[in-house]
Amino acid sequence: MLRIKYIILTYFISLCMPYSVLSITITVPTDYTTIQGAVDAANPGDVISVLPGTYSGAFLTKANITITGFGDPSLVIISGGTGMAVFDVFADHVTVESMTITGGQMTGVFVGGDFAIIESNIIIDNHVPYECFRTYGNGISIGDASTVSYVEIRNNQILDNIGSCDDGQTGGGIYCKAEYFIIEDNVIIGNMAIGGQGDYGGGIYCQGGGIISGNVIAGNTTEALWSYTHTVESYGGGVYLDNNGYASPINFTNNTVVGNKCETSGGIGHDLEAKGGGIYCVPGGTILLDRNIILNNTCIVNPFKEGRYAISDGGGIYSDGDIASIYANDVHNNSPNSSGGSVVILPADYNFFKDPLLCDPSSGNYGINCPSPCAPYNSPISLLIGALNVDCYFCGDLNCDGAINVLDIVYLVNYKFKSGPEPHCDPITACSDVNNDGQVNVLDIIYLVDYKFKGGPAPNCP
Ligand SMILES: [Ca+2]
Ligand SMILES: [Ca+2]
């Protein structure tokens, strides 16, 4: 009986993993010195494992191949290569993971095949030389000439990729044209789309349907310099979304969109438009903007020629049409239109306009501070707003209201002696071990009383 069960189990495992029996791991540089050599030798289902070091990129022209680094993506550096992209993925079901991908002459990873997974990579400093035709995506480019059916882009750091084309640029960090995409938990910072004519999507340009969730999208830029033929357009410094004509909606949920910029810097006798510093939405289709932080984004139009019009609108969000849902977002300090942009953002839909209290963006911490109105225990829908949860605390502020006072003393007494709720911080000592002795007890209560009422020393948590 046991043997029959084993045979049945083995049969079903083999059905689920059609290549598992034949797949092998090819190691670079021990089996093949180059990644291209390993790709050329690989069969469907094989894994190409790249040991720490620096290598050139490759053309991935075989289906069902995984190419992976060594856990920490900074250990395996793939630099440049002979193609315009560092990795050209032309086959279906290819996974690229855990590597640093840099030095692309146009793009870090180009995907033309279906069902690609781009996961846990650092995609950094892929630059397009200035004299070029319009390009589509400098960090990652999905489906350029044709739409792919499905792609996943997860947990990558997409940093400082720049397209600066004479003819305009589309998608500095990510260009994605797919029937369905999942773009999740990425950090997308400092990417740029610069050039003449029109520039769209400094951080992300998406055309299709799917989920964009859990991403930090910060400090990305579109900058349009001139046009010989039409309006100079700079749309979507952070994100450009186009769902028009696609079956699935775009769910843009739980992202932190901060400090992005759209700008037009000139015009040779043409009109100037800068729209959507944080997010630009194309009319048509169904776009949902829920539970995002949209903070400190700007649109700027620089001086223009007399007789031409100039528009800068939607520092936070711009749409020429309706957006299906704008629900429970924190929209703060954008310019123009501090509390949003061209769209109607209603407090009745649980949107609000407060400082989200990010921990320390200047040092790369885009988490929220304990008293943030976006924290699950403070937000109007009791769910997290933005991409990242609480990641810093004020020592002594046990109740997370942004001040240290008698309420915190009461909170600590209740917690220690009356089965009151735990302090919000994690670990608990981060806000409540105010005398820094490794324990939370009556001595901390005495310390806080001394501090507030007897001129004692300030709280000093571990
Ligand atoms: Ca407090
Ligand atoms: Ca203590």
Q: Is residue 431 over pLDDT 60?
A: yes
Share of the chain above pLDDT 70, in %: 92
Closest CA to 156 of 191, 127, 138, 183: 183
What's the pLDDT score for residue 33?
97
Q: Which ligand does the CA of 405 lie closest to? A: 1
pTM exceeds cut of 0.85? yes
Q: What is the span of the domain harbouring residue 280?
A: 127-391
Q: Same domain, yes or no, for 455 and 313?
A: no
Q: Same domain, yes or no, for 210 and 280?
A: yes
Q: Same domain, yes or no, for 305 and 428?
A: no
Q: Same domain, yes or no, for 184 and 156?
A: yes
What value, to the nearest 5°, has the Cα angle with vertex 241 and ends 372 and 147? Answer: 135
Instruction: Quote the crossing angle between the two packed helices 442-453 and 406-417, to the nearest 10°.
Output: 170
CATH classification of the domain holding 455: 1.10.1330.10
* Neighbouring C-beta atoms of residue 161, cutoff 10 Å: 32
Q: What are phi and psi of 445, to 5 degrees?
A: -65, -45
What's the pLDDT score for residue 200?
95
Q: Same domain, yes or no, for 300 and 194?
A: yes
Q: Which ligand does the CA of 452 lie closest to? A: 1
The average pLDDT across 171-196 equals 95
Closest CA to 50 of 73, 66, 27: 27
Q: Same domain, yes or no, for 351 and 411?
A: no
Q: What is the DSSP letter of 296?
A: S
Q: Which ligand does the CA of 423 lie closest to? A: 1
**58 forms bridges with which residues in the sheet?**
87
Q: Is residue 206 part of a domain?
A: yes
Closest CA to 46 of 110, 119, 109, 95: 95
pLDDT tier for residue 1 given thresholds of 50, 70 and 90: very low
Q: Which tens digits make up the pLDDT trace of 48-79?
A: 999 999 999 988 889 999 999 989 999 999 99
Q: Which ligand does the CA of 459 lie closest to? A: 2
Q: Which ligand does the CA of 432 lie closest to? A: 2
Q: Calculate the average pLDDT of the chain.
A: 90
Instruction: Looking at 257-378, list the stretches that DSSP marks H as alpha helix, in order from N- to C-terminal side.
Output: none
What's the pLDDT score for residue 460?
95
**Torsion from C-alpha of 80, 83, 89, 94, nearest 10 degrees:** -40
CA distance 248 to 353: 30
Handedness of CA 341, 347, 348, 349 (dihedral sign): positive
Identify the H or E element spanning 4. Answer: helix 2-16
pLDDT tier for residue 84 given thresholds of 50, 70 and 90: confident
Give distance in angstroms: CA of 349 to centre of ligand 1: 28
Q: What is the DSSP letter of 331?
A: E
Q: Same domain, yes or no, for 189 and 330?
A: yes
Q: Is residue 15 over pLDDT 70?
A: no
Q: Which ligand does the CA of 443 lie closest to? A: 2
pLDDT tier for residue 306 given thresholds of 50, 70 and 90: low
Q: What are phi and psi of 452, to 5 degrees?
A: -75, -35
Give distance in angstroms: CA of 394 to centre of ligand 2: 15
Q: Which ligand does the CA of 407 lie closest to? A: 1
Last residue of a domain, one of 348, 370, 391: 391
Query: Longest Cα pair distance anywhere in the chain, in angstroms?
Result: 88
Give distance in angstroms: CA of 374 to centre of ligand 1: 17
Last residue of a domain, one of 370, 391, 412: 391
What's the pLDDT score for residue 8?
47
Give distance in angstroms: CA of 405 to centre of ligand 1: 6
What's the pLDDT score for residue 322?
82
Q: Is residue 425 part of a domain?
A: yes
Give distance in angstroms: CA of 215 to centre of ligand 1: 30
Q: Are 184 and 215 in contact (CB under 8 A)?
A: yes
Tally of structural domains, the chain: 2
Q: Are 165 and 133 in contact (CB under 8 A)?
A: yes
Q: Is residue 3 over pLDDT 50?
A: no
Least confident of 6-20, 154-168, 204-218: 6-20
pLDDT tier for residue 270 given thresholds of 50, 70 and 90: confident
Q: Same domain, yes or no, for 276 and 262?
A: yes
Amino acid identity for residue 53 in this structure: G
Q: Same domain, yes or no, for 175 and 309?
A: yes
Least confident of 234-243, 318-327, 362-371: 318-327
276: left (phi over 0), alpha (psi -120 to 50) or beta: left
Q: Is residue 271 part of a domain?
A: yes
Give distance in angstroms: CA of 436 to centre of ligand 2: 5
Q: Which tens digits make up the pLDDT trace of 122-136?
A: 999 998 766 666 678
Q: Is residue 82 part of a domain?
A: no
Q: Which ligand does the CA of 461 lie closest to? A: 2
Give distance in angstroms: CA of 450 to centre of ligand 2: 14
Q: Is residue 424 part of a domain?
A: yes
Which residues keep their CB under 5 angstroms from ion ligand 2? 433, 435, 437, 439, 444
Give distance in angstroms: CA of 440 to centre of ligand 2: 4
Give distance in angstroms: CA of 377 to centre of ligand 1: 14
Q: Which tens digits make up the pLDDT trace of 325-357?
A: 999 999 999 999 877 777 888 999 999 999 999
The average pLDDT across 269-275 equals 83
What's the pLDDT score for residue 227?
73
Q: Same domain, yes or no, for 384 and 406?
A: no
Give distance in angstroms: CA of 432 to centre of ligand 2: 7
**Torsion from C-alpha of 428, 430, 435, 440, nearest 10 degrees:** 10
Q: Which two structure tokens, joined as six digits, stand for 369?
A: 């501070």
Give distance in angstroms: CA of 375 to centre of ligand 1: 15
Q: Same domain, yes or no, for 380 and 424?
A: no
Q: Which tens digits make up the pLDDT trace of 389-429?
A: 999 999 999 998 889 999 999 999 999 999 999 988 889 99
Q: What are phi and psi of 291, to 5 degrees?
A: 60, 40
